[in-house]
Structure 1
Amino acid sequence: MTQAPPPTRQNIQWRFEAWAYDFAQFLARLFPIDAVSDFGAWLFRNLGPLTGPHRTARTNLRIVFPDATPAELAALLRAQWEETGRWIAEFPTLDRIIADPARVEVVGAERLSEIAAGQPVVFISGHFSSFEIMSAVIVHSGVTSQITYRAMNNPYVDERFRESRWRYGVRLFAPKGLAGARTLLQALGRGESVALMNDQKFNGGVAAPLFGVMAHTAPGPSSFALRFGIPIQPMSVQRIHKARFRVIVHEPFLLEDTGDSEADIETGVRRINAFIEERVLARPTEWFWVHKRWPKETYKRAA
């Protein structure tokens, strides 16, 4: 069945957005990488507080740091906008960042070599710093892995994002949703690894505590690991200075199959949430705070 073309007005808007992205990408690739990163930090430090997501970020920070003073909260808000701006500005240049060995340090690279040698895993992580770099490190290490992603609403911009990822080596995409889940299952059945981000709201997911507040969390990583009897492999990325990063391959863990599938999956979800908590508390300014991670009521009460 052929998909109907979008309404003319919507299509025009999408194309203008794609052209704007093309222009921004053109400019970003004209200048030194660190200068682009600094510009993104400056721009979002000034514009971010004027946007709707600023309120979301403030609410999220209050959940995680309930005892923070107004001054501490303001400093965290400012720093997280700088980090978000750096990530967005750096995205069009990620292939150049990855190509420069001096810009990306990998801690635990030997573990990736083991996985590449035939030990498939379920990679999990969160939206930490310039999180796309983790995908590039995985594929550059020789690991065959499906990388999940959420398609952009604008199909023209989505195509450009996929092209950008192609430039730094990410070839195997699995969209989120049922079609993506089937792709992941097929990949795991072939002995390949899969990689998922597990720190965003998943309606209908497992309710598990995250910083003391129940959060609906995707059960996929735990379900896949249990079904195929393979480890969950956490990863994270840290910003060292400007556009220089450290990617960490953390200790893997294997979930116990007790025969109670529902309880085992919940155990896995709780362990993954605990990992996310640990990483956020270690480097709070580098998480993606503008996502509504907790139930809607949380943000209505804060309005």
Structure 2
Amino acid sequence: MQQLGHLLVVALLRTLSLLPYQLIARLGSAIGAALYALPSRRKHIVLVNLRLCFPEKSEPDCDELAREHFRQVVRSYLERGVQWFGSARRIRSLVQVESAIDLEDRDAPPTIFMGFHFVGIEVGCMRYSQKMPVASLFTHMSNTRLCDLARRQRGRFGAEMIERSTSARKIVRLLREGKPVMLAADMDHGIENSVFVPFFGIPACTLTSVSRLARIGRARVVPFVTEVLPDFKGYRLSVFAPLSDFPSESDTNDARCMNAFLETQILKIPAQYYWVHRRFKHRPEGMPPVY
């Protein structure tokens, strides 16, 4: 049964990859709006996150933002068809690239590209991997077949896919060999190797891996964000200048810096951040759960 489900997912994504991008995006948006009308745990999580992070917003405003987020998230699932099975030329035509650094500089210092979980993150990573060899960290999924499919298709333009739980020694070695490493550290992966720092004023369990890897690998940290453009015009990959004074001598200060930067980007495109994730799953001792 699981194998049949996997084959159906692959068939669906391959079929979607053959359709016009605008049609896929409109279909995903419509399905997302319809799903938002139904009670669900994910809807509850989104609304809790929005109420915590934007206490100044009214209930109708939070509701509208949550509905738009559902549209964006479901769109992103359907657009995986193009991203995983579309041609390299089609990916290039859909993703605009704006960068504050030279992305094709083969003499660049060791670099960690720090991404964030906006709905377009995946296609941005794939677009960059068409330019330069890169290693990209991923989190293992419980569904082994789907995990293998995702790893294979995400790395099909030459990205070396590395499971997040792998040895830090390997990642540091890649950095020192000159291969950039792409990762995202803005989700709650548990209190181990994490600190509680503010995220929109709420204590959030935040990984310190970026800071530690940059320090050991003597790497600069370059943030990037992939935005879904309005009017179904594709995506924009924005690569920023390296963070100044990062890493510092304090993992906690670096985590604060990372969250502060992320907040500035969320405020630009709030519906596109991954609010369906339980960002406040772990709480400081003595604080009640929020979900």
Normalised by the length of structure 2, the TM-score is 0.89
Conservation of the 8 A alpha-carbon contact between 1:206 and 1:219: yes
Pairing partner for 2:174 from 163, 167, 187: 187
Going from structure 1 to structure 2, the CA distance change for 1:117 and 1:297 (only over 3 Å counts) comes to closer
Q: Following TM superposition, by how much is the alpha carbon of 1:300 offset from its aligned partner in structure 2, in angstroms?
A: 6.8
> What residue in structure 1 maps to residue 161 of structure 2?
173
On the 8 A contact 2:113/2:221 being kept in 1, the answer is yes
Check if 1:107 corresponds to 2:95.
no
Structure 2 residues without counterparts, runs of 5 or longer: none
User: What does residue 118 of structure 2 align with?
Assistant: 128
* Matching residue of 1:150: 139
CA positional deviation for 1:185:
2.1
* CA displacement at 1:77 relative to structure 2: 0.8
Q: Which amino acid aligns with 2:23?
A: A
TM-score by length of 1: 0.85
1:37 and 1:243 in contact (8 A); partners too: no
3-state SS of paired residue (1:293)? coil
Q: Conserved in 1, the CA contact under 8 Å of 2:188 and 2:282? A: no
Higher share of residues assigned helix: 1
Preserved CA contact (<8 Å) 2:126 2:155: no
SS at match of 1:282: coil
1:286 and 2:272 equivalent? yes
Q: For each residue in 1:101-135, what CA deviation from the matched residue of structure 2 results, as whole angstroms up to 9, or x when unmatched?
A: 44211111753123x43322111121113111221
Q: Which residue of 1 aligns with 2:10?
A: 22
Alignment of 1:156-167 (within 5 A): 156-167=145-156
Matched with 1:274 is 260
Offset at 1:27? 2.6
Amino acid at match of 2:197: A
Q: Structure 1's 256 and 129: CA in aligned 2 closer, same or farther, altered over 3 A?
A: closer
Contact 2:45 2:277 in 1 (8 A): yes
Cα deviation digits, residues 55-105 of structure 1 (max 9, x gap): 000000111111211211111011000100111000121153752344211
Q: What corresponds to 1:45 in structure 2? A: 33
Comparing 68-77 with 26-35, greater Cα deviation is found at: 26-35
Tell me how far apart the structure 2 counterparts of residues 257 and 239 of structure 1 sit (CA, whole Å).
30
Cα distance in structure 2, aligned partners of 1:74 and 1:157: 32
Report the alpha carbon displacement of residue 183 of structure 1 after superposing the two structures with TM.
Answer: 2.8
- Structure 2 CA distance for partners of 1:26 and 1:102, relative to 1, 3 Å: closer
How far apart are the structure 2 equivalents of 1:240 and 1:15?
35
1:82 to 59, 71, 81: 71
Give the Cα separation in 2 of the matches to 1:120 and 1:42.
43
Q: Structure 1: how far apart are the matches of 2:290 and 2:254?
A: 30
With over 3 angstroms needed to count, the CA separation of the structure-2 counterparts of 1:108 and 1:171, relative to structure 1, is closer
User: Where does residue 59 of structure 2 map in the other structure?
Assistant: 70
Distance (whole Å) between structure 2 residues aligned to residue 199 and residue 97 of structure 1:
30
Q: 1:7 aligns to what? A: none
In the alignment, the residues of structure 2 paired with residue 217 and residue 50 of structure 1 have an alpha-carbon distance, to the nearest angstrom, of: 29
Partner of 1:206, secondary structure, is strand
Which AA in structure 1 matches 2:189? Answer: F
Instruction: Give the aligned partner of residue 198 of structure 1.
Output: 185
Q: CA RMSD in A?
A: 2.3
For 2:5 and 2:201, locate their aligned partners in 1 and report how far apart those are by CA, in whole Å: 39
> Hey, what does 1:6 align to over in structure 2?
none
Residues 9-62 of structure 1, C-alpha deviation per residue, up to 9 Å, x if partnerless? Answer: xxx4x3233123123213312321221121111112212443211100000011
Q: Which residue of 2 aligns with 1:252?
A: 242
Residue segments in structure 1 that go unaligned for 5+ positions in a row: 1-11
Q: Are 1:231 and 2:225 matched, yes or no?
A: no
